Chain A
Protein backbone atom coordinates (compact mmCIF):
# COMPACT_ATOMS: atom_id res chain seq x y z
CA UNK A 1 0.00 0.00 0.00
CA UNK A 2 2.82 2.40 0.75
CA UNK A 3 4.27 1.81 -2.71
CA UNK A 4 1.53 4.05 -4.01
CA UNK A 5 3.33 7.01 -2.49
CA UNK A 6 6.19 6.72 -4.96
CA UNK A 7 3.80 7.46 -7.82
CA UNK A 8 1.68 10.02 -6.02
CA UNK A 9 1.01 13.29 -7.73
CA UNK A 10 2.52 16.38 -6.18
CA UNK A 11 -0.89 17.63 -5.13
CA UNK A 12 -1.67 14.40 -3.28
CA UNK A 13 -0.49 14.83 0.29
CA UNK A 14 1.27 11.73 1.61
CA UNK A 15 -0.89 11.39 4.68
CA UNK A 16 -4.04 10.79 2.62
CA UNK A 17 -4.47 7.28 1.23
CA UNK A 18 -6.44 8.42 -1.80
CA UNK A 19 -7.30 11.69 -3.55
CA UNK A 20 -10.87 10.85 -2.73
CA UNK A 21 -10.08 10.97 0.98
CA UNK A 22 -8.11 14.18 0.54
CA UNK A 23 -10.91 15.92 -1.30
CA UNK A 24 -13.54 14.80 1.22
CA UNK A 25 -11.38 16.04 4.10
CA UNK A 26 -10.87 19.42 2.45
CA UNK A 27 -14.56 19.77 1.84
CA UNK A 28 -15.49 18.74 5.39
CA UNK A 29 -13.06 21.30 6.78
CA UNK A 30 -14.62 23.96 4.59
CA UNK A 31 -18.14 23.07 5.71
CA UNK A 32 -16.99 23.30 9.33
CA UNK A 33 -15.73 26.81 8.57
CA UNK A 34 -19.01 27.71 6.84
CA UNK A 35 -20.94 26.48 9.88
CA UNK A 36 -18.83 28.87 11.96
CA UNK A 37 -19.48 31.72 9.52
CA UNK A 38 -23.23 31.14 9.79
CA UNK A 39 -23.05 31.29 13.58
CA UNK A 40 -20.83 34.37 13.29
CA UNK A 41 -23.46 36.21 11.29
CA UNK A 42 -26.26 34.90 13.48
CA UNK A 43 -25.04 37.30 16.15
CA UNK A 44 -25.80 40.19 13.83
CA UNK A 45 -29.15 38.74 12.87
CA UNK A 46 -30.02 38.36 16.55
CA UNK A 47 -29.11 42.02 17.04
CA UNK A 48 -31.55 42.76 14.22
CA UNK A 49 -34.29 40.79 15.95
CA UNK A 50 -33.58 42.57 19.24
CA UNK A 51 -33.71 45.93 17.50
CA UNK A 52 -37.00 45.09 15.85
CA UNK A 53 -38.33 44.09 19.22
CA UNK A 54 -37.32 47.19 21.17
CA UNK A 55 -37.62 49.84 18.45
CA UNK A 56 -40.37 48.64 16.11
CA UNK A 57 -41.27 52.02 14.63
CA UNK A 58 -37.81 52.61 13.20
CA UNK A 59 -38.12 50.29 10.23
CA UNK A 60 -41.34 51.76 8.89
CA UNK A 61 -39.86 55.26 9.20
CA UNK A 62 -36.68 54.27 7.37
CA UNK A 63 -38.77 52.85 4.52
CA UNK A 64 -41.14 55.83 4.41
CA UNK A 65 -38.24 58.24 4.23
CA UNK A 66 -36.45 56.14 1.59
CA UNK A 67 -33.24 56.18 3.54
CA UNK A 68 -32.10 52.91 1.99
CA UNK A 69 -32.18 52.73 -1.79
CA UNK A 70 -34.18 49.66 -2.76
CA UNK A 71 -33.11 49.81 -6.44
CA UNK A 72 -29.46 49.76 -5.36
CA UNK A 73 -30.02 46.91 -2.96
CA UNK A 74 -31.95 44.99 -5.60
CA UNK A 75 -29.20 45.53 -8.17
CA UNK A 76 -26.64 44.32 -5.65
CA UNK A 77 -28.70 41.18 -5.07
CA UNK A 78 -28.83 40.44 -8.80
CA UNK A 79 -25.09 41.15 -9.13
CA UNK A 80 -24.24 38.78 -6.29
CA UNK A 81 -26.56 36.04 -7.58
CA UNK A 82 -24.91 36.29 -11.01
CA UNK A 83 -21.48 36.08 -9.41
CA UNK A 84 -22.67 32.94 -7.62
CA UNK A 85 -23.66 31.48 -10.97
CA UNK A 86 -20.30 32.28 -12.58
CA UNK A 87 -18.54 30.81 -9.53
CA UNK A 88 -20.55 27.58 -9.78
CA UNK A 89 -19.78 27.42 -13.50
CA UNK A 90 -16.08 27.98 -12.72
CA UNK A 91 -16.12 24.99 -10.37
CA UNK A 92 -17.74 22.98 -13.13
CA UNK A 93 -14.99 23.97 -15.58
CA UNK A 94 -12.36 22.89 -13.05
CA UNK A 95 -14.10 19.52 -12.77
CA UNK A 96 -13.80 19.12 -16.54
CA UNK A 97 -10.04 19.72 -16.87
CA UNK A 98 -8.49 16.36 -17.76
CA UNK A 99 -5.35 15.34 -15.89
CA UNK A 100 -3.28 14.99 -19.08
CA UNK A 101 -2.33 18.16 -20.85
CA UNK A 102 -4.21 18.48 -24.17
CA UNK A 103 -6.49 20.80 -26.16
CA UNK A 104 -9.42 20.06 -23.89
CA UNK A 105 -7.50 20.90 -20.73
CA UNK A 106 -6.37 24.21 -22.25
CA UNK A 107 -9.95 25.06 -23.19
CA UNK A 108 -11.42 24.30 -19.78
CA UNK A 109 -8.58 25.98 -17.95
CA UNK A 110 -9.06 29.15 -20.00
CA UNK A 111 -12.78 29.10 -19.22
CA UNK A 112 -12.08 28.49 -15.55
CA UNK A 113 -9.83 31.55 -15.37
CA UNK A 114 -12.32 33.68 -17.27
CA UNK A 115 -15.20 32.68 -15.01
CA UNK A 116 -13.15 33.33 -11.87
CA UNK A 117 -12.20 36.79 -13.14
CA UNK A 118 -15.83 37.56 -14.02
CA UNK A 119 -16.89 36.50 -10.52
CA UNK A 120 -14.31 38.81 -8.98
CA UNK A 121 -15.38 41.62 -11.31
CA UNK A 122 -19.05 41.24 -10.33
CA UNK A 123 -18.01 41.31 -6.69
CA UNK A 124 -16.23 44.60 -7.39
CA UNK A 125 -19.44 45.94 -8.98
CA UNK A 126 -21.20 45.04 -5.74
CA UNK A 127 -18.57 46.94 -3.76
CA UNK A 128 -18.83 49.98 -6.03
CA UNK A 129 -22.60 50.16 -5.55
CA UNK A 130 -22.04 49.77 -1.80
CA UNK A 131 -19.56 52.64 -1.95
CA UNK A 132 -22.20 54.90 -3.48
CA UNK A 133 -24.71 53.87 -0.82
CA UNK A 134 -22.27 54.49 2.03
CA UNK A 135 -21.04 57.81 0.69
CA UNK A 136 -24.61 59.07 0.39
CA UNK A 137 -25.23 58.11 4.00
CA UNK A 138 -22.06 59.83 5.08
CA UNK A 139 -23.26 62.92 3.25
CA UNK A 140 -26.73 63.12 4.81
CA UNK A 141 -25.60 62.07 8.27
CA UNK A 142 -27.38 58.75 8.77
CA UNK A 143 -24.43 57.25 10.62
CA UNK A 144 -24.11 54.84 13.51
CA UNK A 145 -24.75 55.78 17.15
CA UNK A 146 -23.28 59.04 18.36
CA UNK A 147 -22.20 60.07 14.86
CA UNK A 148 -25.82 60.26 13.72
CA UNK A 149 -26.75 63.79 12.64
CA UNK A 150 -29.40 63.47 9.99
CA UNK A 151 -31.27 66.78 10.19
CA UNK A 152 -34.62 65.56 8.88
CA UNK A 153 -35.01 62.86 11.51
CA UNK A 154 -33.32 64.16 14.62
CA UNK A 155 -32.69 62.39 17.89
CA UNK A 156 -32.69 63.58 21.47
CA UNK A 157 -29.70 63.34 23.74
CA UNK A 158 -29.73 63.23 27.52
CA UNK A 159 -27.32 65.44 29.49
CA UNK A 160 -25.03 62.48 30.04
CA UNK A 161 -24.90 61.91 26.31
CA UNK A 162 -27.21 58.90 26.16
CA UNK A 163 -29.71 59.05 23.35
CA UNK A 164 -33.35 58.96 24.37
CA UNK A 165 -35.09 58.55 21.06
CA UNK A 166 -36.13 60.18 17.85
CA UNK A 167 -38.09 63.39 17.68
CA UNK A 168 -41.58 63.49 16.29
CA UNK A 169 -42.64 66.53 14.25
CA UNK A 170 -44.60 67.85 17.25
CA UNK A 171 -41.46 67.86 19.39
CA UNK A 172 -42.24 64.90 21.61
CA UNK A 173 -39.81 62.04 21.91
CA UNK A 174 -40.53 58.70 20.29
CA UNK A 175 -38.66 56.09 22.31
CA UNK A 176 -39.72 53.28 19.95
CA UNK A 177 -37.81 54.85 17.10
CA UNK A 178 -34.03 54.68 17.05
CA UNK A 179 -32.48 55.59 13.69
CA UNK A 180 -29.02 55.82 15.25
CA UNK A 181 -29.28 52.19 16.33
CA UNK A 182 -30.75 51.13 13.00
CA UNK A 183 -27.82 52.61 11.13
CA UNK A 184 -25.36 51.08 13.59
CA UNK A 185 -26.86 47.73 12.70
CA UNK A 186 -26.96 48.54 9.00
CA UNK A 187 -23.31 49.56 8.83
CA UNK A 188 -22.01 46.69 10.97
CA UNK A 189 -24.03 44.02 9.17
CA UNK A 190 -23.47 45.22 5.61
CA UNK A 191 -19.91 46.26 6.46
CA UNK A 192 -18.99 42.83 7.81
CA UNK A 193 -20.62 41.28 4.77
CA UNK A 194 -18.72 43.72 2.54
CA UNK A 195 -15.48 42.75 4.26
CA UNK A 196 -16.23 39.12 3.41
CA UNK A 197 -16.80 40.17 -0.21
CA UNK A 198 -13.44 41.98 -0.31
CA UNK A 199 -11.67 38.94 1.11
CA UNK A 200 -13.55 36.80 -1.41
CA UNK A 201 -12.30 38.95 -4.30
CA UNK A 202 -8.72 38.49 -3.16
CA UNK A 203 -9.05 34.73 -2.76
CA UNK A 204 -10.84 34.29 -6.12
CA UNK A 205 -8.13 36.25 -7.94
CA UNK A 206 -5.50 34.10 -6.23
CA UNK A 207 -7.37 31.04 -7.49
CA UNK A 208 -7.28 32.48 -11.01
CA UNK A 209 -3.52 32.89 -10.68
CA UNK A 210 -3.14 29.29 -9.51
CA UNK A 211 -5.34 28.14 -12.39
CA UNK A 212 -3.16 30.02 -14.85
CA UNK A 213 -0.16 28.15 -13.46
CA UNK A 214 -1.99 24.94 -14.34
CA UNK A 215 -2.44 23.70 -10.79
CA UNK A 216 -6.00 22.43 -11.16
CA UNK A 217 -7.48 19.43 -12.91
CA UNK A 218 -10.36 16.98 -12.53
CA UNK A 219 -8.45 15.08 -9.86
CA UNK A 220 -7.43 18.07 -7.79
CA UNK A 221 -9.53 21.22 -7.67
CA UNK A 222 -10.72 21.22 -4.08
CA UNK A 223 -9.48 24.78 -3.58
CA UNK A 224 -11.80 25.97 -6.35
CA UNK A 225 -14.72 24.02 -4.90
CA UNK A 226 -14.14 25.29 -1.38
CA UNK A 227 -13.77 28.93 -2.38
CA UNK A 228 -16.96 28.37 -4.35
CA UNK A 229 -18.65 27.23 -1.15
CA UNK A 230 -17.40 30.35 0.65
CA UNK A 231 -18.68 32.57 -2.13
CA UNK A 232 -22.10 30.96 -2.10
CA UNK A 233 -22.28 31.51 1.64
CA UNK A 234 -21.48 35.20 1.16
CA UNK A 235 -24.30 35.29 -1.39
CA UNK A 236 -26.62 33.46 1.03
CA UNK A 237 -26.00 36.01 3.75
CA UNK A 238 -26.83 38.86 1.39
CA UNK A 239 -30.01 37.01 0.33
CA UNK A 240 -31.18 37.36 3.94
CA UNK A 241 -29.67 40.78 4.61
CA UNK A 242 -31.36 42.48 1.66
CA UNK A 243 -35.03 41.90 2.60
CA UNK A 244 -34.36 42.38 6.33
CA UNK A 245 -32.66 45.74 5.94
CA UNK A 246 -34.25 47.20 2.83
CA UNK A 247 -37.69 45.71 2.37
CA UNK A 248 -39.39 44.79 5.60
CA UNK A 249 -41.29 47.52 7.46
Chain B
Protein backbone atom coordinates (compact mmCIF):
# COMPACT_ATOMS: atom_id res chain seq x y z
CA UNK B 1 0.00 0.00 0.00
CA UNK B 2 1.58 3.22 -1.08
CA UNK B 3 1.47 6.30 1.04
CA UNK B 4 -0.36 9.37 -0.08
CA UNK B 5 0.16 12.96 0.85
CA UNK B 6 -2.88 14.92 1.81
CA UNK B 7 -0.81 18.02 1.17
CA UNK B 8 1.51 17.55 -1.80
CA UNK B 9 0.76 21.07 -2.76
CA UNK B 10 3.91 23.17 -2.61
CA UNK B 11 3.05 26.75 -3.41
CA UNK B 12 5.35 28.60 -5.82
CA UNK B 13 7.68 31.24 -4.42
CA UNK B 14 5.90 33.95 -6.37
CA UNK B 15 2.69 33.30 -4.44
CA UNK B 16 4.36 33.98 -1.10
CA UNK B 17 5.95 37.18 -2.33
CA UNK B 18 2.70 38.38 -3.89
CA UNK B 19 0.78 37.82 -0.65
CA UNK B 20 3.60 39.51 1.27
CA UNK B 21 3.54 42.58 -1.00
CA UNK B 22 -0.24 42.85 -0.55
CA UNK B 23 0.20 42.69 3.22
CA UNK B 24 2.82 45.46 3.17
CA UNK B 25 0.67 47.65 0.93
CA UNK B 26 -2.32 47.12 3.22
CA UNK B 27 -0.20 48.12 6.22
CA UNK B 28 0.61 51.39 4.50
CA UNK B 29 -3.10 51.78 3.72
CA UNK B 30 -3.98 51.25 7.39
CA UNK B 31 -1.62 53.99 8.53
CA UNK B 32 -2.54 56.26 5.64
CA UNK B 33 -6.26 56.04 6.33
CA UNK B 34 -5.70 56.78 10.01
CA UNK B 35 -3.89 59.97 9.02
CA UNK B 36 -7.01 61.12 7.16
CA UNK B 37 -8.71 61.90 10.44
CA UNK B 38 -12.02 60.21 9.80
CA UNK B 39 -14.72 60.33 12.49
CA UNK B 40 -14.13 57.79 15.23
CA UNK B 41 -16.69 55.12 14.27
CA UNK B 42 -15.85 55.13 10.57
CA UNK B 43 -12.16 55.05 11.39
CA UNK B 44 -12.60 51.89 13.45
CA UNK B 45 -14.70 50.19 10.77
CA UNK B 46 -12.18 50.96 8.03
CA UNK B 47 -9.21 49.91 10.17
CA UNK B 48 -10.89 46.63 11.09
CA UNK B 49 -11.94 45.98 7.50
CA UNK B 50 -8.34 46.39 6.31
CA UNK B 51 -7.10 44.21 9.19
CA UNK B 52 -9.69 41.58 8.23
CA UNK B 53 -8.43 41.52 4.64
CA UNK B 54 -4.85 41.11 5.88
CA UNK B 55 -5.94 38.35 8.26
CA UNK B 56 -7.72 36.54 5.42
CA UNK B 57 -4.59 36.73 3.25
CA UNK B 58 -2.41 35.34 6.05
CA UNK B 59 -4.87 32.59 6.99
CA UNK B 60 -5.62 31.49 3.42
CA UNK B 61 -2.12 31.42 1.94
CA UNK B 62 0.51 31.63 4.66
CA UNK B 63 -1.41 29.22 6.88
CA UNK B 64 -2.33 27.11 3.84
CA UNK B 65 -6.02 26.97 4.66
CA UNK B 66 -6.86 27.02 0.98
CA UNK B 67 -5.18 23.62 0.52
CA UNK B 68 -6.40 22.25 3.82
CA UNK B 69 -9.23 19.98 4.91
CA UNK B 70 -12.55 21.63 5.62
CA UNK B 71 -12.34 20.52 9.24
CA UNK B 72 -9.44 22.86 10.03
CA UNK B 73 -11.17 25.73 8.28
CA UNK B 74 -14.35 24.98 10.25
CA UNK B 75 -12.37 24.99 13.51
CA UNK B 76 -10.86 28.37 12.71
CA UNK B 77 -14.19 29.87 11.68
CA UNK B 78 -15.90 28.38 14.72
CA UNK B 79 -13.56 30.23 17.08
CA UNK B 80 -14.28 33.45 15.15
CA UNK B 81 -17.98 32.74 15.49
CA UNK B 82 -17.76 32.35 19.25
CA UNK B 83 -15.60 35.48 19.47
CA UNK B 84 -18.37 37.29 17.65
CA UNK B 85 -21.02 36.04 20.05
CA UNK B 86 -18.84 37.11 22.98
CA UNK B 87 -18.32 40.63 21.62
CA UNK B 88 -21.88 41.24 20.48
CA UNK B 89 -23.72 40.05 23.56
CA UNK B 90 -21.35 41.76 25.97
CA UNK B 91 -21.78 44.99 24.04
CA UNK B 92 -25.56 44.60 24.27
CA UNK B 93 -25.16 44.27 28.01
CA UNK B 94 -22.96 47.34 28.34
CA UNK B 95 -25.19 49.45 26.15
CA UNK B 96 -28.36 48.64 28.05
CA UNK B 97 -27.15 49.09 31.62
CA UNK B 98 -29.07 52.30 32.05
CA UNK B 99 -32.34 50.55 31.24
CA UNK B 100 -32.53 48.57 34.45
CA UNK B 101 -30.99 50.93 36.96
CA UNK B 102 -31.08 54.43 35.64
CA UNK B 103 -28.01 56.50 36.38
CA UNK B 104 -26.21 53.63 38.06
CA UNK B 105 -23.19 53.50 35.77
CA UNK B 106 -23.51 56.34 33.32
CA UNK B 107 -21.16 59.15 32.58
CA UNK B 108 -23.49 61.59 34.34
CA UNK B 109 -23.44 59.50 37.51
CA UNK B 110 -19.65 59.21 37.55
CA UNK B 111 -19.16 62.87 36.76
CA UNK B 112 -21.54 63.87 39.52
CA UNK B 113 -19.78 61.60 41.98
CA UNK B 114 -16.44 63.05 41.00
CA UNK B 115 -17.67 66.62 41.34
CA UNK B 116 -19.35 65.85 44.68
CA UNK B 117 -16.13 64.39 45.96
CA UNK B 118 -14.17 67.40 44.84
CA UNK B 119 -16.66 69.77 46.45
CA UNK B 120 -16.71 67.76 49.66
CA UNK B 121 -12.92 67.85 49.68
CA UNK B 122 -12.65 64.08 49.57
CA UNK B 123 -10.14 63.99 46.77
CA UNK B 124 -6.51 64.82 47.26
CA UNK B 125 -6.71 68.21 45.70
CA UNK B 126 -6.06 71.70 46.91
CA UNK B 127 -7.81 74.88 46.01
CA UNK B 128 -5.62 77.67 44.85
CA UNK B 129 -4.48 80.20 47.41
CA UNK B 130 -4.96 82.94 44.85
CA UNK B 131 -8.22 84.82 45.58
CA UNK B 132 -8.39 85.95 41.95
CA UNK B 133 -8.62 82.36 40.81
CA UNK B 134 -11.05 80.71 43.27
CA UNK B 135 -11.72 77.76 41.00
CA UNK B 136 -8.16 76.88 40.26
CA UNK B 137 -6.91 73.67 41.79
CA UNK B 138 -3.57 72.38 42.77
CA UNK B 139 -3.52 68.67 42.65
CA UNK B 140 -1.29 65.73 43.16
CA UNK B 141 -0.34 63.58 40.20
CA UNK B 142 0.51 60.49 42.18
CA UNK B 143 -2.69 60.08 44.14
CA UNK B 144 -1.66 62.49 46.86
CA UNK B 145 1.45 60.62 47.83
CA UNK B 146 3.60 63.74 47.57
CA UNK B 147 1.45 65.47 50.18
CA UNK B 148 1.62 62.40 52.34
CA UNK B 149 5.37 62.49 51.98
CA UNK B 150 5.41 66.07 53.09
CA UNK B 151 6.10 67.76 49.79
CA UNK B 152 4.12 70.92 49.29
CA UNK B 153 4.29 72.15 45.71
CA UNK B 154 2.20 70.22 43.25
CA UNK B 155 3.85 69.19 39.96
CA UNK B 156 1.17 70.81 37.86
CA UNK B 157 -1.17 73.66 38.54
CA UNK B 158 -4.26 74.24 36.45
CA UNK B 159 -3.92 77.98 36.85
CA UNK B 160 -1.33 77.89 34.08
Q: How many A-B residue pairs have CB under 8 A?
A: 194
A243 and B72 within 8 A (CB): no
Residue A28 interfacial (CB < 8 Å)? yes
On whether A28 and B71 interact (CB within 8 A), knowing A49-B91, A171-B158, A243-B48, the answer reads: yes
The answer to whether A239 touches B6 (Cβ under 8 A) is: no
Q: Do A84 and B58 form a contact, CB below 8 Å, given A24-B69, A243-B50?
A: yes
Stretch of A31-39, A187-195, A203-211 that contacts chain B: A31-39
B143 A161 Cβ-Cβ under 8 A: yes
Whether B117 pairs with A164 at a CB distance below 8 angstroms is yes
B80 touching A38, Cβ below 8 Å: yes
The residues in B between 45 and 70 inclusive whose CB is less than 8 angstroms from any CB of A are 47-48, 50-51, 54-55, 58-59, 61-64, 68-69
Give min CB distance, A247 to chain B, whole Å: 4
Does B40 touch A at the CB level, under 8 Å? yes
Is the pair B143, A239 in contact by a Cβ cutoff of 8 Å? no
Is A128 positioned at the interface, with any CB of B under 8 Å from its CB? no
A171 touches B111 (CB 8 A): no
Contacting pair B76 A31 (CB below 8 A):
yes
Is the pair A34, B76 in contact by a Cβ cutoff of 8 Å?
Answer: yes
Using known A-B contacts A39-B79, A171-B136, determine if residue A151 contacts B141 with beta carbons closer than 8 Å. Answer: yes
B-contact bits for A137-163, CB 8 A (1 contact / 0 none): 000000000100111101111110101
CA–CA, A78 and B31, complex, Å:
12
Listed residue (A45, A46, A85, A244) with the most chain B CB atoms within 10 angstroms of its CB: A85
Tell whether, in the assembled complex, residue A236 and residue B59 are in contact, meaning their CB atoms are under 8 Å apart: yes
The answer to whether B118 touches A173 (Cβ under 8 A) is yes
Distance between Cα atoms of A36 and B79 in the complex (Å): 7
CB-based contact B40/A249 at 8 Å: yes
Using known A-B contacts A23-B7, A175-B114, determine if residue A240 contacts B83 with beta carbons closer than 8 Å. no
Chain A residues positioned under 8 Å from B156 (CB to CB):
151-152, 154
Residue B130 at the A interface, CB < 8 A?
no
A91 to B126 CA separation, bound complex (whole angstroms):
63
Q: Which residues of A contact B31 (CB under 8 A)?
A: 70, 74, 247
With a cutoff of 8 Å between Cβ atoms, the chain A residues found around residue B16 in the complex are: 85, 88-89, 92
- A contact residues around B139 at 8 Å (CB): 154, 156, 167, 171
B76 touches A35 (CB 8 A): yes
By a CB distance below 8 angstroms, the chain B residues around A92 are: 10-11, 13, 16
Kindly state whether residue B104 has any CB partner on chain A within 8 Å.
no
List the 5 closest A-B pairs by CB distance, nearest first: A171-B158, A35-B79, A157-B143, A247-B34, A171-B137
Binding site for A on B (CB under 8 A): 1, 3-7, 10-11, 13, 16-17, 20, 23-24, 27, 30-31, 34, 40, 43-44, 47-48, 50-51, 54-55, 58-59, 61-64, 68-69, 71-72, 75-76, 78-80, 82-83, 86-87, 90-91, 94-95, 107, 110-111, 113-115, 117-118, 122-125, 135-137, 139-144, 155-156, 158
16 contacts between A and B (CB under 8 A): A20-B3, A24-B69, A28-B72, A34-B75, A46-B86, A78-B24, A81-B20, A89-B13, A92-B10, A92-B13, A149-B141, A156-B118, A157-B124, A158-B122, A228-B62, A247-B31
